[in-house]
Each structure stands twice: as structure tokens, then as C-alpha cells.
Structure 1
Amino acid sequence: MKLDQLDTPAALVDIPRMNRNIARMQSRLNALGVKFRPHVKTTKCREVVHAQLAAGANGITVSTLKEAEAFFAAGVTDILYAVSIVPSKLPRAMALRQRGCDLKLVVDNTRAAVEVARYCAGQKEAFEVWIEVDTDGHRSGIAPEQDALLEVGRILHDSGVKLGGVMTHAGSSYELHTPDALSALAEQERAGCVRAAQRLRDAGFPCDAVSVGSTPTALSAEKLDGVSEVRAGVYVFFDLVMRNIGVCSTDDIALSVLTTVIGHQPEKDWVIVDAGWMAMSRDRGTSRQTEDLGYGLPCRLDGTPLTDWVLSGANQEHGILSPAHETQQTTNLATRFPIGTRLRILPNHACATGTQFPEYHALSADGETTVWSRFHGW
């Protein structure tokens, strides 16, 4: 189907842009001499993940056990579940391993380590477990110099659980926007994770994997000495937050929402479209950045950005396009944006927008679309 035949709103994936993004990241990490384990939570889509693996990725990262189950069923066996495990999820994780999935778990505290060790003893079968390291104070993990790092390592190792490595995520990179700041954080991320691995090895514990990553640091690291693999997810589609950070351009953003003009409010300079927050999500990530793009940046049907407009407001099923600048002089709205006009909206956060839809319409270079399913839930 062509774009003018699709019901709106609809999630579009520009295949040439996506493939270019995949090739860019894979080529960069190949040159730096590390493996790449893409985070598939962004897309939750088999076609996208198969393209990443075909380009040279080694294994995948997931954020839910449902993702692990779905991609294992699709033939992917090397999977890192990169959220600290809790006891209630251990039986489901073990079921995957017993079916042949090389599923790796993550812990970042002694209680979780004890629970994993106890469960494995009862099952007489061990997981491979990695320790999450906090290298930037952003979210979860144990700081590289904390005593708890070695205590968790001891609990796992002494109980017969395989201590597979350490992993970290420099999520604070989303708060930066200059090349120097990004490269400095990438080095901080690398050095902290390598230091944690060395402390474990010095204490007599195995620690083969040293896994780092976020899209901004993966694209900004100048060296990755001591690192075995990198993880990144949103790079495959990119979004407006990544554009404001400076790691992609508007022309790299591969995900957009197809929408239709359904009305006007001339006295307010508003154009009403049928993509509200149910389509775009409520993510307002650009509001904390140097350029606030509301709920998204509108484009013409061919993808040309309308830089003088912004999706400034969103109700459940209504989106509001308004001038990007207060002094902007608008022409007759009904002439410029007639009822039925189709537009594309670039999202703030590709992960959040993608999850609003049960499927993508993958757009090829010849303008034809193909349906790619995605899945929801945990």
C-alpha cells in the first residue's frame, strides 16, 4: 500500500534510513574492535532485529522476558536480560534456559544474588549472571569501588552460579549535547566498567564480559580498551532527543507517525490532526533540551520537515500543530493544510512512540509499505 492509502494514525519505518543507521553503528563498533549486542526494546520487531543480526550484531539485549521469549522463538539464542532479576521471574527465566536459550541475567545487589543462588541450588541448574555497574549515577548498579561489588561476586561464584561479566549503561548521556561532553562520558563509562571487571578478577572471580552502552556514548567513544561488547537501541530509528543531543540529523530519523489534518482553529493558528498522545506518547523529552519540539516535528508526506511548525499540544486523539515561533506569519490554514492533508510527525522518543502501535508500516524506497508486527507487554 502507498502512504495515501493507509488508515491514520500509523507508525512508519523508513527502511533505507533504518538500514543506514544499522550500518553506521555496526561499522563504527567493528572499527573499534568490539562486539555489538543491540537493545531490541526500541522496536520489539523481528524484521528489524533480523536486519541488525544480518549486519553483524552478536546477540541481543532485552528489557522484558516477553522480548526474550519472542526473539528466542524467532531463532535468537544469545540474549541478555538487562534488568535486575527478581525472585518471582526466575522460573520463567529458567524455562527459557532449559529450552536452549543462552539467557543471561543481571543483578545489582546482594539480596538478588542470594535469591538467584538459592533458586539455582534448588533447580540443580545454574544461570549465567552479570553484575550491573553504576558509572554515572543515572539509575541502577553498583559503583566500581563499592565493597558490594565483590560481595555480590563472592555470593554468585561461591554458590556455583556462573559470573559472566559486568555491564553498565550511561543513561546520563541523554542530558548532554556537545561532542566533548559525550566523549568524556563515554570514557567514564568505559573506564568504570573496566575497573569493576578488574576488581572482580583481582579477587579471584571470573569476569569475561565487559559490556557498556547507550546510543550517544556508542557513537562518541574514542576508544574501548578492555570492553568486550557495546549495547545500544534507539540508534536503529533515532528520534528528536537524539537529534538534539547531536548524534544524528533530522534526516536520520527512521520512525514517523502518519497523520491526517482533520480541522483548523484559525483564530489560534492551530491545525488539528488525528495523532494525539495515544499515537505520539506523552514523552516530552525535548522539553529539557536546547530545542523544545513539543510532541513532535511535522513533515510533509515525502518526509521534508516543516521546521516552522511544531506539534505543540496533544489530547488523546487530537494533535495540535502550531507555528514554531510566536512572530511567525501564517497564511490561510485551510489553503496550506486542507482537510485530509497527510503529514508525518517525527517523535521525541522512538521507543515510547513505537510502543503505541501494534505494527509498523515499513516504507521502501519505491514508496510501497509492508506490515511488520511488533509486540507489547511483559
Structure 2
Amino acid sequence: MTLADVATPALVLDSAVLERNCEAMAQRAARHGVALRPHLKTSKSAGVARLATRGQPGGVTVSTVAELDYFASQGFLDLTYAVGISAGKIEALDRIQRRYGAQITLLADQVEAVRAAAARADALGARFAMLIEIDTGGGRGGVAPSDPELLTIARAIQQSDAFTLLGVLTHAGHSYHAPGLEAIQRIAEDERAGAVRAAERLRGQGMEVSVVSVGSTPTAVYATRLDGVTEMRPGVYTFFDLDQQARGVCRMEDIALSVLATVIGHNPRSGRVLIDAGALALSKDRSGDEFRDDLGFGLVCPITGGAPWPGLRVADVHQEHGLLATDGAPQALFDALPIGSRVRILPHHACMTAAPYDRYHVVRGTDQRVNAVWGKARGWVEGA
């Protein structure tokens, strides 16, 4: 099978680029002396996970119950569920642990959440490891490293028979908005120092802390030191995307993921080419616009991949339609992309674009042969 045979829209994954990205991050982790626990919310795929964990202890990070169930079924049994726990999910997590013999580590930043989850776990006879989420500047969730609540949460975990305190976890998501290398490096140091400070406070109270976990792709790429940290959890680095390229975290040739689409029409009135990949196939995320103004809803490449065509972009999207526009003459665009021809679209945000699909069509370099089809998780619930 070749890309000409694949029903569109479809996800295309260049394994050569993927392998290079995974190896580069593994080398960064080794230079810093930390474990790499890749966040698999981007790919949601065991095929990707096997490359991302190669040479590593084997632990992974996930963000949905569906991902926990899927990855445990694929033999990944050391799983950090990096979303604050809610009591209503404990029963499903307990089933997954028991079914596969997995160890799921939970995350909390509220005493109330710890107590509610503990009560449910105790009723089931379930046992989990737990990390405390630390806010090192992102402002999404977590407690500040110096907040007295940190110790209160830790004691609530220790008082429960259901939970064992492992340590602390933070995510510098605000690094995605940092303007330039120096800003990313400052955030990376804040991330490291904040997590280490929180761990030291817990240890100062006689608590054992074996895990100090940090992670975001920009900070993992540009951190200058990670002393005191035990692991990092970047995710989108496996694929990269236009968002990361726009802020200088990767090069265009580091983007491993694209969406295969078919040209379905020419509109001479608007001067646009229609494709069968729209808002659902590409997503409406335009995060790269924060640093570039020429990306549209994605950049357009030949079916063989490689560099995007200069000036050609997805200018607009409807639910199942994408509209391509160019800075040049429309007729030249119509001639270059006849109806029935195929293109590949580089996405702004790989995580958002990949999420709805159920498989990857794996190619290598400019070769259009599909070497493998990799499945993936979808949705939010167990068994999805």
C-alpha cells in the first residue's frame, strides 16, 4: 500500500524523523542524568511509545483513563496519570491495575481530592502511589513550592492506607509562550528549582521523596541543568509541530506528523483549492500564530513530504473542508494541484490534530510506501 491508496483524511507519520526526535531527547536525558518518562498524550500510540522508551526505565506518562487502559494492555505497566485525581475515576483505575498488573501513580494538589479519592480507594481495597503537583509558574494547577498547603497535602496522603507518597511533579506549560531561548531557559530553571525546593521541604519533615519530576518539551530541550531532578516528561517532541517550530524549539524538518488530504475542488471565484481535511481533521488550534503570521491552519507539503511549498497554507477550515490559498496566482495553484491530487498538511499542534484519529500510516522519508499501520487510543474512558 502507498499513500495514494490511503483513505483521506489520514495521519502520516515519518518514522525516520520520529526515531531521530526520540534519540535526541534520550541523549538530553542522559546528559542531565535523569530518566525519561515520555508523555504519550501526543501520540497515544504503543508504536511511538516503544521508540520513546527505548533505553529508558520504561515508565510513561498519560493524561486519560483511556490511555491508561490502552498502554497497560500494550505492556506499559509503570504509568503516571498526570491529571489531578478525582474520586470518580478510582474504580476504573483499580480495574486497570488489577487486570494488567500495572502500577498507576496518581497526582493531587488538593487535600479534599486526596481524601475523597482515598475513601473510594479504601472501599475497593485499592492501592496507588501518589505525587503532589507543584506550580512553578504555569498557573494551571498545583501548589507553590513554599505554600504551607504542600505539607498538609503530603500528610493527608500519608494518613491514607490507600496511597503512598512518592514525591512531586511539575509542568512548565508556560514555556510554550516564552519569547526566545533565554526566556525558555529561565523557565526551565524555575521549573527545576521549584520542584527541588518542594521536595526538600517534604524531606525536611522526614518524608521520603524518591521522585522529582519535571516536564515540557521546550524546557526539556533547553534546560541547562537538572540537578535534584529524577525524571523529565516531555511529550510533543516525538512529533514536534508548527507551534514548536515557530518558537524555535525545533526545525521544520523535525516535524514527523502530517495529515494526508485529497484535493476535492477548485474555486475560481475565491482563488482557493478545496481539500477534504477541515477543522476536525486538522483542528482549529493556531498556537503557532503567537510567533508567526504566515501559518494559516497548517502548511502544505507534497505527498512525498519534505519542505512546505512557499506561500501555500490552509487559509480557512470548515468542519470537513480545508481551503488552500497561495500568495501567487490562483490558476498556477489550480494547475499544480489538480482535483484528485494529494497533499500533506503540517499541523500547528500535533496533540490536538492527532487526537481524533484511530491510526497512523507510517512511512519513511520521501518513500510513499506505508510500512506499518499503528493503532492508538482515543477518547477518555476505559476501553475506548
TM value normalised by structure 1: 0.95
Partner of 2:45 in structure 1? 45
Task: Report the alpha carbon displacement of residue 125 of structure 1 after superposing the two structures with TM.
Answer: 4.7
In structure 2, runs of 5+ residues without a counterpart are none
- Indicate conservation of the 8 Å contact 2:295/2:313, yes or no: yes
Q: Does 1:311 align with 2:314?
A: yes
Identical aligned residues as a percent: 42
Query: Which runs of structure 2 are paired with 1:190-339 in the superposition (5 Å)?
Result: 190-303=192-305, 304-323=307-326, 325=327, 328-339=328-339
SS of equivalent to 1:219 = helix
Question: Aligned partners of 1:98 and 1:5: how far apart in 2?
Answer: 41
- Inter-CA distance 241–342: structure 2 relative to 1 (3 Å threshold): same
Deviations 1:261-283 (A, max 9, x none): 11112342211111111210121
Aligned 1:1-378 pairs, distance under 5 A: 1-56=1-56, 58-99=58-99, 100-160=101-161, 161-303=163-305, 304-323=307-326, 325=327, 328-365=328-365, 366-369=367-370, 370-378=372-380
Mapped to 2, the partners of 1:57 and 1:352 lie a distance apart of 28
Given that residues 316 and 323 in structure 2 are in contact (C-alpha distance below 8 angstroms), is that contact kept between their aligned partners in structure 1? yes
Structure 2 counterpart of 1:59, one-letter code: G
Name the CA distance, whole Å, in 2 between partners of 1:96 and 1:348.
Answer: 33
* Aligned mates of 2:135, 2:260 — CA distance in 1: 39
Say whether the 8 Å CA contact 2:304–2:368 is kept in structure 1. no
Distance 1:262 1:117 in 2: 54
Counterpart-to-counterpart distance in 2, 1:295 and 1:87: 38
Residue 195 of structure 1 and its aligned partner are, at CA, apart by: 0.5
Distance 1:363 1:216 in 2: 26
* Kept in 1: contact 2:303–2:368 (CA 8 A): no
How far apart are residue 118 of structure 1 and its match? 2.7
Kept after mapping to 1: 8 A contact 2:175/2:216: yes
**After the TM superposition, which of the residue ranges 288-297 and 66-75 deviates more from structure 2?**
288-297
The aligned length equals 375
Deviations 1:343-369 (A, max 9, x none): 110001111111121211111344321
Q: Is the 8 A contact 2:66 2:379 kept in 1?
A: yes
Maintained 8 Å contact 1:144/1:193: yes
Cα–Cα, structure 1 residues 254 and 309, in superposed 2: closer, same or farther, change >3 Å?
Answer: same
TM-score, normalising length: structure 2? 0.94
| AA partner of residue 214 (structure 1) | S
Distance 1:124 1:317 in 2: 47
Q: Return the letter of the residue paired with 2:324.
A: L
RMSD: 1.6
